[in-house]
A and B are shown apart, each in its own frame.
Chain A
């Protein structure tokens, strides 16, 4: 479904930063407090099955691959990447709510908790949500 957008940073630095927890430690913990609804992630999973599974397995977006691609960036970056690049055959063709639900699904897939409010679709707000490392 998505291809991770990775800002150019020497890879070795990213590896070191993630491995040492530096990236997570220097950011706030909002994503750890629950930034999406459980039902929203459920919808995102259904959207994944309908719109993403034809090319992608969740393996691509879980565990180390997610951490190395996204920790240290923001939920807005993730939202922007998916909604700009995907689905590959018709980028941007899903609704903002559907893209938000996909982001919620990917966050849940990687151990981030759901909360009491839905993830919004406003990019500027989402850019204020740093992705810190989820507890393992």
Chain B
């Protein structure tokens, strides 16, 4: 690890012509509702949750950094993540928290917990879980999103879930495991306290494990024949309860139909005692059990909650976004809607009981998992104060609910969708489609959506699509070798709101800022037996699916250009008081490879934006945004009311996933997660001179 002193130094110059933008007076609208949800996470300039607050707004009420001084920002320090694991990953998905004068986050494939001096970037302590075979089985090890925090009798405690699916509780000041906490883990190198092996609690009442003729192997985890589970997000701590979500392995990498359900679990923050479990695949007698046919509830799994959880502490509710069931792009073996797959679930944090739920995709096979934390806001709708929670989705909709009752704020209609021709597949005849807010991304693909910079490019695009089955949103896959002779299906969006750019919001105005990228997918599916790898340690289950994903397809535009019209990515501001889009701006500027493309010479291009999810946070004064993995390494300030760019500074590398802010020694800091080809996942802290 390379440590840096507290010295600040100027950021590098920006490319010519991009250095200065007209600085607009940041006169913010005051007519919007100001009925802020409790900002318990960001009081006093702290950032106690990875999403800023339990509501996951990614909002900081600090106002030292403004449109007028934004371009004076300097790099205070760069914290490098190169050495936290055997490989230096170009991934940075962990948003730090800031509490009581210290930053906490995780780094690398081992999800090493680190405490960082917020003024200097110096590493204060680290905590590394000993290696187990469970780590070797993981596909999401490098995707850690951070830690959770709670105070127990005035003592700060850091909670983290590791890729091997252990829950650790650490003293925030020292990084040492909490005394008299958790259960004994009899593995080499593990602490005797401060840790819970989550697997025994998860599978104790699960039929396939109860029927398994073998002993529990804490090093290996769940037998491969039954499944595997890991984690990518931290828990959330609400009212003394540590709520633990989980991750399954990516469904598009799986070939077999059995897996472990990703049940949600609650633990006592003070003792580590297991309090409750919510079955994400309902058992007999539980609500939603009848949405599973073919007895698939008994042996299939996933329905994991890999995206971060959010909460309303005042209501004692935690909001859980879920993944589809095992596997992606074919679900013929699990007919039925499959609750609580691809849903938003509100659980009572003390009991784990379901208070309400909404399934955003029935019988999901499109990989339309809910990819970001639901965002809680207090707004005024039609003159009435409403407590809402918003789930932005890969489909390009912002599903909006009363966060206490689950009632949709605006009607969500069940509308007919295309049906599958894949043998054995049975899709839901309808899917839920919000009537408001309007979709924030292109949905489906028609000839009208195709590139039209020149007649030649459009002609090429029209020729390309002849080989694919286009259709509206929820266009289903076709198998390779389909009688039509078509190469594959095309489904758009592929991930409008997605992992790479969590939604942020201003709790004072009720405006949501959505990161969205235009895209389509065209997976090739083939008989699972053709690609199943029985000896791969990551292969789980016993029964090979009739179909599974061969690869992600080859749907591409003419001459290396996107096949659809720009903008390729945007930030969309939606007033959640009305459901109206306020503005939408391209993310970044037209990429050089498009600006200089030979087929586009002499063409006057409007700003296409980059092909990358923007990352965002909101402050009292600004929307702050970086361009994402495919963008240039710059940080922009946008006018909250208009989206106009009012300042730009350089970053050491492109921003990734998210950012956060805090007040330390009376200075406002913005920490941006950065990574790229020349820099493993790192943190860049900016402040005024």
Contact = CB atoms under 8 A, between A and B. Distances in A.
Q: Which of A11, A14, A18, A98 has the most CB of B within 10 A?
A: A11
Interface string A75-100: 00000010011011111111000100
Given A88-B630, A89-B612, A94-B677, A15 B530 contact: yes
A87 to B, nearest CB: 7
Given A12-B481, A89-B610, A92-B560, A57 B253 contact: yes
A81 to B, nearest CB: 7
A68 B255 CA distance: 14
A93 to B, nearest CB: 7
A12 B526 CA distance: 9
B261 interface: no
Given A45-B87, A50-B88, A85-B554, 4 more contacts: A8-B485, A8-B487, A54-B629, A93-B630
Interface in B160-202: none
Interface string B664-689: 00000000000111101000000000
Contact of A6 (B88, B480, B519, B680): B480
Interface stretch (A24-32, A59-67, A111-119): A59-67
A17 to B, nearest CB: 11
Contacts of B250: 57
A93 B593 CA distance: 9
Contacts of B247: none
B610 A90 contact: yes
Interface size class of A (residues with CB under 8 A): 35 or more
A6 B551 CA distance: 9
A88 to B, nearest CB: 7
Given A84-B556, A85-B556, A89-B612, A69 B551 contact: yes
* Chain B binding surface SS class: loop
Nearest to A95: B677
A98 B397 CA distance: 37
B480 A11 contact: yes
Interface of A: 3-6, 8, 10-15, 18, 45-47, 49-51, 53-54, 57, 59-60, 62-65, 68-69, 81, 84-85, 87-94, 98
Nearest to B88: A49
B527 interface: yes
Contact of B531 (A65, A81, A88, A90): A65
What 9 pairs across the A-B complex have the smallest Cβ distances? A89-B630, A11-B481, A4-B551, A11-B480, A50-B90, A64-B531, A3-B552, A5-B554, A90-B630
B367 interface: no
A63 B526 contact: no
B551 A8 contact: no
B253 A60 contact: yes
13 contacts: A4-B553, A15-B530, A49-B87, A50-B88, A53-B91, A57-B250, A59-B139, A60-B253, A64-B533, A68-B526, A88-B630, A90-B612, A91-B593
Contacts of B680: 50
A104 B610 CA distance: 29
B591 interface: yes
A68 to B, nearest CB: 6
Contacts of B538: 57, 59
Q: Which of A10, A81, A89, A93 has the most CB of B within 10 A?
A: A89
Nearest to B569: A89
Contacts of A59: 139, 253, 533, 536, 538
A85 to B, nearest CB: 6
A89 B676 CA distance: 12
Nearest to A84: B560
B532 interface: yes
Contacts of A57: 139, 250, 253, 538
B89 A53 contact: yes
Interface size class of B (residues with CB under 8 A): 35 or more
A63 B252 CA distance: 15
B530 A68 contact: yes
B551 A60 contact: yes
B218 interface: no
Nearest to B138: A57
A58 to B, nearest CB: 9
B611 A90 contact: yes
B209 to A, nearest CB: 24
A126 B58 CA distance: 48
Given A87-B629, A89-B629, A93-B593, A63 B533 contact: yes
A6 B253 CA distance: 18
A49 B560 contact: no
A65 to B, nearest CB: 5
Q: Which of A62, A63, A94 has the most CB of B within 10 A?
A: A63
Given A11-B479, A65-B551, A91 B253 contact: no
Contacts of A65: 531, 550-551
A12 B482 CA distance: 10
A82 to B, nearest CB: 11
A4 B556 CA distance: 12
Interface in B545-562: 550-554, 556, 560
Contacts of B351: none
A15 B526 CA distance: 9
A57 B678 CA distance: 20
A92 B593 contact: yes
Contacts of B526: 11, 15, 68
Nearest to A12: B481
Q: Which of B500, B551, B612 has the most CB of A within 10 A?
A: B551
Interface in B380-436: none
Contact of B611 (A18, A54, A63, A89): A89
